[in-house]
Amino acid sequence: MRWTTLFLLVAVSLQAQQKTGKTIGEVTLFGEEQPKVEAATKTEIPISKAPAPVTVITAKQISESGAHSVPDLLRLVAGVNVRWNPMVATVDIRGFGENPFSSRVLILIDGAPFNSGDTGGFPLSPAFDLFPVQLIKRIEVVRGPGSSLYGENAYWGVINIVTLSGDDLAGGSAQLYAGGTRDTAAGTLMYGNRFANGATAIAGVKMQRTMFPLEFWKDDQSHFRGTDVFVKGTYKDFQGEIYRHDDNLDGFSEAFDIPGLPPGSAFTSAHRIKQTMDTLALRYNHAPADAKLTFSADLSYSHRTGMHCAACHALPEDPAEFGHTANHGYQAIGDFRLGIRMIPGHEILFGTELRRLDRGEHAKELTPGGNIVKGYDKEAVYAQDQFDLIRDRLRATLGLRYDKKTDITPEKTSPRAALVYTPNDRLVLRGGYSTAFRFPTFSELYQSTWFINVTSPFATFPLAVFAPNPTLRPEEIQTLDAGGEYQFNPTVSGRFDVYRSRVSKFIDIIEPQLTPQLTGIGWSNNPGKGTITGGELEMRANLNGITGFANWAHQTGHQDGGSRPLEFVYAPKNKINVGAYGGPWNGWRAALEASWRGQYVAPQFQYLLHSNFTDPTIRPLPSYTLLGARASYDVNAFGLKQPVRLSVIGQNLLNKKPDETVLGVETGLTGREVFGQVEVHF
């Protein structure tokens, strides 16, 4: 990693003498046009005008990268923390990983919310990935609170996955990927095109078999088998898409060796864990460049059928109920927007969001006896004005959203203000104030099942149980941030961002007593307040044949008041990422990516659990580097319009096996793997 960083710094100095051009915003890695982004304002704007720090991962970077999943790509983004727990990869942005479900990050697919109605985070659990990377056009990562536009879940930030359209592909593509130590094999087939009437269509299917990248699953040879099907069409101002994800996962049995428990005790799950997620979305966007009024709307519907969380945590409590799939209800969202450009220099947006959440049979694992609110309707209105204070130089963004009270959530108001200043053609400066909230989820309010079950030859009983807390209040965050980007020349740019966030009413885990006995675990609003201070620095260079980036993120946290510690867990103070991509050289291409994560700590209770209830001492977990590489060769064969690409991909080449999440089971990463990949375009 040090050699790659040195290479980039030398490249910057060599290129600093080149003639500059009139360009604004960060340098693109592969000479592409500057991307426009939507997630920062719900309007399509150049990235240089975004009122919040935004990082874009393009389709070109995805195709050149050795990363093969959305979480692996996000590891390389400054200010984003990714870690694996047994259920799913957890993502936070400028925050800390108290919650395992990424419920403080809003996940969008083509602008439509994709978060779970149960846990608030990843829409599936267990979940291997968010969305097939082969079908992604770009990923927009917005750092900082976003409730002024999006309401709940946009707490640490927003991730918008923008999918390919038919004219992006303009033909067919097939990819085979296999190898590693987890019996991994994946195949993707896609086809898309533009028709004579201007309509486009794309369809893709991905099938994969693997294991989660943790020793916990590998020890039991628990295979994950998943299928993704995606269809999308566009015609004039309309866009429609259908996405289905279906998977099943072999269960597990983890032996216990805790003093006082009977010999042969184990933590067991259902024999097979299954789930299906169906998502439908329809978008209308009528926004001609010279129109005084614009109209847009997003309609989305998602439905999950699958196992209860209790299939892993509490199967022996009620095998007949928790050992099979169930209807987990649906979430329907309508977002309607009116844009007004009648006032010179102003771009005003009015919007309203209507949401219906139905939890289906999820209530069977909640309390008391399923007698809870099983769904609710929510309404919100918002307004935003982007306007020039100094024409083409100083632009302001003001926003405000009001979320109406529901059967289980109070009303909330979320303001935002930001300035973007462009003093010359190379420099962009920005600063702002933003707020966000997160409503407690159904699971946090009402979960009432065993948490860790013990099955032994003599008895079956819980080691801990969930204690519901229907009195939880929404979390709140307020953030001040400032930053900017400077282009040294058209091929070299740098960016910096600093921020200070204040969190209150933070929902953290109330752990069991520090003894191996029957006791409760649940969620509670921490009475103290926390402050997170940090920043990011990134350099980008796009040279002849070689391109890359190096970024550094730093953050610290401290607590103000409160009778209970607010644990800033799983968030390293320092994090460094480096990516370098080269080629083509006579058909050869190469990539090198490294992510270094500094020391971090886990919750205090997990140290005791991990030591079989012998040592509660909090000790920093060691730093580590995940190193990946890719070598590809393009072969002209079979008369195809594009060469066949053959790749060898190495992941975790330094064979690091850190515990990214500390639990009472083996959660270390699985170590070094090498894969082969074949790509064909037709």
**What's the CA gap between 669 and 264, in Å, rounded?**
26
* Distance separating alpha carbons of residues 291 and 298, to the nearest angstrom: 20
* Positive or negative torsion for Cα 83, 88, 94, 97: negative
Q: What is the pLDDT of residues 30-69, one digit of tens each?
A: 888 888 999 999 999 999 999 999 999 999 999 999 999 9
Of the options 1.25.10.10, 3.30.930.10, 2.40.170.20, 2.60.120.200, the CATH number for the domain spanning 2-681 = 2.40.170.20
In the predicted model, what is the mean pLDDT of residues 491-503? 97
Q: How confident is the model at residue 519 (pLDDT cuts 50, 70, 90)?
A: low
Q: Computed from CA positions of residues 343, 346, 347, 351, in that sequence, does the dihedral angle turn out positive or negative?
A: negative
User: 């885990």: which residue's tokens?
Assistant: 509
Quote the pLDDT of residue 368. Answer: 58
- The residue ranges of DSSP E strands in 505-573, in sequence order, are 507-510, 520-525, 529-542, 546-560
Q: Dihedral (C-alpha) 313, 614, 565, 530: value to the nearest 10 degrees?
A: -70
* DSSP tag of 608: H
Please give the structure tokens belonging to residue 658. 């850190």
Q: With bands split at pLDDT 50, 70 and 90, how would you rate the model's confidence at 185?
A: very high
Q: Which of 72, 125, 112, 98 is nearest to 438 (CA)?
A: 98
For residues 401-408, average pLDDT: 93
Please report the pLDDT score of residue 23 as a whole number. Answer: 59
Contact 428, 392 (CB under 8 A): no
The model's pLDDT over 418-448, given as tens digits with 9 standing for 90+, comes to 999 999 989 999 999 999 999 998 888 888 8
Mean pLDDT of 316-343: 93
Is residue 295 within 8 A of residue 286, CB to CB? The reply is yes
pTM of the model: 0.94
Q: What percent of the chain has pLDDT over 70?
A: 94
Specify the higher pLDDT residue, 42 or 7: 42
Least confident of 4-8, 351-355, 471-475: 4-8
In sequence order, what are the beta bridge partners of 93?
A: 80
Average the pLDDT over 508-525 and give the result: 71
| 1 has a pLDDT exceeding 60 | no
At residue 193, the pLDDT reads 96
Compute, in degrees rounded to 10, the torsion defined by CA atoms 302, 307, 310, 313. -110
In single-letter form, the type of residue at position 520 comes to: G
Instruction: Output phi, psi for 420, to 5 deg.
Output: -125, 120
The answer on pLDDT for 21 being more than 70 is: no
pLDDT digits (tens, 9 = 90+) for 383-397: 999 999 999 899 999
- Residue reference for tokens 């005008």: 49
- Pair of tokens at residue 299: 């309609």
Residues near 289 by beta carbon (within 8 Å), at least 6 away in sequence? none
What is the residue-wise DSSP string for 458-481?
Answer: S-EEEEEEEE--TT---EEEEEEE
SS3 for 314-353 is CHHHCHHHHCCCEEEEEEEEEEEEEEECCCCCEEEEEEEE
- Residue 257 predicted with pLDDT over 80: no
Q: How many CA atoms lie within 13 A of 306 on its CB side?
A: 27
User: Could you give the CA distance from residue 62 to residue 68 in angstroms, rounded to a whole number?
Assistant: 8
More confident residue, 650 or 119: 650
Indicate whether 19 pLDDT > 50: no
- The amino acid that residue 609 corresponds to is L
> What are 79-134's pLDDT values in tens digits?
999 999 988 999 999 999 878 888 999 999 999 999 988 788 888 888 889 999 99
- Determine the pLDDT at residue 20: 39
Count the residues in the chain. 682
How would residue 664 be classed by pLDDT, with cut points 50, 70 and 90? confident
The string of pLDDT tens digits covering residues 329-341 is 999 999 999 999 9
128-161 pLDDT per residue, tens = 899 999 999 999 999 999 999 999 999 999 999 9
Torsion-angle region of 392 (φ positive above 0: left; ψ -120 to 50: alpha; else: beta): left
Does residue 15 have a pLDDT over 80? no
Whether the per-residue pLDDT at 541 is higher than 90: the answer is yes
631 has a pLDDT exceeding 60: yes
Using alpha carbons, select from 171, 163, 160, 215 the residue that is nearest to residue 194.
171
The string of pLDDT tens digits covering residues 194-218 is 999 999 999 999 999 999 999 999 9
Of 333, 348, 418, 298, nearest to 152 by C-alpha is 333
One DSSP character per residue, 83-149 reads EE-SSBEEEEESS---STT-TTEEEEETTEE---TTTSSSSSSSBS-SS-GGGEEEEEEEES--HHH
Domain ranges of the chain: 2-681
Has residue 6 got a pLDDT over 50? no
- Answer for the pair 299, 282: CB distance below 8 angstroms, yes or no: yes
Share of the chain above pLDDT 90, in %: 69
Q: pLDDT tens, 550-598?
A: 999 999 999 988 888 899 999 999 999 999 999 999 999 999 999 999 9
The runs of H, that is alpha helices, within 597-657 are 604-610
Strand residues in 341-446 grouped as ranges (E):
346-358, 375-390, 394-403, 412-421, 427-438
Model confidence at 524: pLDDT above 80: yes
Residue 571's nearest CA partner among 555, 559, 560, 593 is: 555
361 pLDDT above the threshold of 90? no
pLDDT band at 517 (very low <50, low <70, confident <90, very high): low
- pLDDT for the residue numbered 261: 78
Mean pLDDT (the chain, rounded): 90
Q: If you search the block for the tokens 């704007």, which residue do you land on?
A: 45
